[in-house]
Amino acid sequence: MFDPYGSDGTMARYRADKLQRWALSLMSFKYVIEHVPGEVNAWGDLLSRWGAGPVLPAESSARRVARLAVVDRVSPLQEAEFVWPSEGEIRTLHQDPQYQEQARAAGVNWDDERALLLSPTGQVWIPPDATELQQRLCVIAHAGASGHRGAKTTAAALSEVLVWATMPADVSTFVQGCLHCMVTAGGKIPRPHGETLVATKPNELLHFDFLSMLKGEDGSKYVFVLKGGMSGYVELVSCIDATSDQAYASRLDWFKRCPPMGV
């Protein structure tokens, strides 16, 4: 049996792997499978039917293919219109008359030296309805070089230079939805809606992710982990930065050494 899931899609993984190992062992022998009718092989036919019970009517089965739902946006960084916020953009918002009225109501004053609306303690005021700008500021304070710290640390870093009314709640919601923090903190990771993907042939499913480590003598501080979905073979690649170029090059090297079947 070279495809264990072909006859039983709910077969346990360990049992399917065992059958695959038997199939690989049998490939080293040259043999021919011949079917012997029951009339000729009476004892074999008798033993195969011993204690089999009543003959059940034949049932037809069909395999169902479920289409995975693709999530268009899982991170604000993946938006095509995403732009890093700048002081000039904030200054343009502060010059809007409607925001100046909101600033006066919030006790925020205009600073002529910086040409910005500042709080009495010196933080730059962000309008309460500028949610897109607030989200991009959360990205800067939490992701990337900021180290994906917790909600309290991220809010403390933001509150040193910025201020808006709902900052603690907004930062907490943003950190709870961070995919990187879900993986490292053991939270519930969102998955595409559909059936569990199970590899039935080499390189049909490849798992990969970056693992953060202590900085080495050569400057490497990440390990790119690749694991074959069927074989379980694991490859570790040390890298300096966790970038898409590094992931692209490592996957190309994987397929150079382990090419897909039929290529």
Closest-CA residue to 1 (of 46, 48, 33, 40): 33
Claim to verify: residue 178 and residue 113 sit in the same structural domain: yes
Kindly report the backbone phi and psi dihedral angles of residue 106, in degrees, each rounded to the nearest multiple of 5, phi listed first. Answer: -90, 0
Claim to verify: residue 80 and residue 125 sit in the same structural domain: yes
pLDDT of residue 263: 44
Claim to verify: residue 113 and residue 158 sit in the same structural domain: yes
CATH of the domain at 146: 1.10.340.70
pLDDT of residue 237: 93
> What residues contact 99, with CB distance under 8 A and at least 6 apart?
93, 117, 127
Per-residue confidence band for 58, with pLDDT thresholds at 50, 70 and 90: low
Claim to verify: residue 143 and residue 91 sit in the same structural domain: yes
Rounded to whole angstroms, the Cα distance separating 72 from 78 reads 9
- Give the model confidence (pLDDT) of 197-251 as tens digits: 788 888 888 889 888 888 888 888 899 999 988 888 899 999 998 888 999 999 9
pLDDT of residue 231: 85
Claim to verify: residue 166 and residue 107 sit in the same structural domain: yes
The answer to whether residue 39 is domain-embedded is: yes
Picking from 137, 154, 185, the residue at the C-terminal end of a domain is 185
258/78: higher pLDDT: 258
For residues 86-111, give the mean pLDDT.
Answer: 84
Q: Taking the alpha carbons of 99, 104, 109, 111 in that order, is the dihedral positive or negative?
A: positive
The answer to whether residue 215 is domain-embedded is: yes
The number of distinct structural domains making up the chain is 3
The answer to whether residue 63 is domain-embedded is: no
237 SS3 class: strand
User: Domain range spanning residue 27?
Assistant: 4-46
Helix H or strand E encompassing 152: helix 151-159
**Mean model confidence pLDDT for the chain:** 78
Of the ranges 42-46, 54-58, 182-186, 240-244, the best mean pLDDT one? 240-244
The answer to whether residue 195 is domain-embedded is: no
Q: Which of 68-82, 136-150, 223-237 has the lowest mean pLDDT?
A: 68-82
The answer to whether residue 57 is domain-embedded is: no
Residue 38 pLDDT > 70, yes or no?
A: no
For residues 136-161, give the mean pLDDT.
Answer: 83
Claim to verify: residue 81 and residue 130 sit in the same structural domain: yes
Residue 185 pLDDT > 60, yes or no?
A: yes
Determine what percent of the chain is predicted with pLDDT higher than 90.
Answer: 9
pLDDT of residue 230: 85
Claim to verify: residue 106 and residue 155 sit in the same structural domain: yes
The answer to whether residue 152 is domain-embedded is: yes
**Distances from the Cα of 2 to the Cα of 18, 26, 199, 214, 227, angstroms:** 11, 10, 13, 43, 22
CATH of the domain at 245: 3.30.420.10
Residue 170 pLDDT > 70, yes or no?
A: yes
The answer to whether residue 163 is domain-embedded is: yes
218/20: higher pLDDT: 218
Claim to verify: residue 180 and residue 210 sit in the same structural domain: no
91: which 2 tokens? 């200054």
Claim to verify: residue 151 and residue 246 sit in the same structural domain: no
- Give the model confidence (pLDDT) of 82-96 as tens digits: 566 788 888 888 888
For residues 154-169, give the mean pLDDT.
Answer: 89
Cβ distance 2 to 23 under 8 Å?
yes
Cβ distance 195 to 181 under 8 Å?
no
Claim to verify: residue 82 and residue 170 sit in the same structural domain: yes
For residues 38-49, give the mean pLDDT.
Answer: 70
The answer to whether residue 157 is domain-embedded is: yes
Kindly report the backbone phi and psi dihedral angles of residue 49, in degrees, each rounded to the nearest multiple of 5, phi listed first. Answer: -100, 0
Per-residue confidence band for 56, with pLDDT thresholds at 50, 70 and 90: low
Claim to verify: residue 137 and residue 84 sit in the same structural domain: yes
Claim to verify: residue 84 and residue 157 sit in the same structural domain: yes
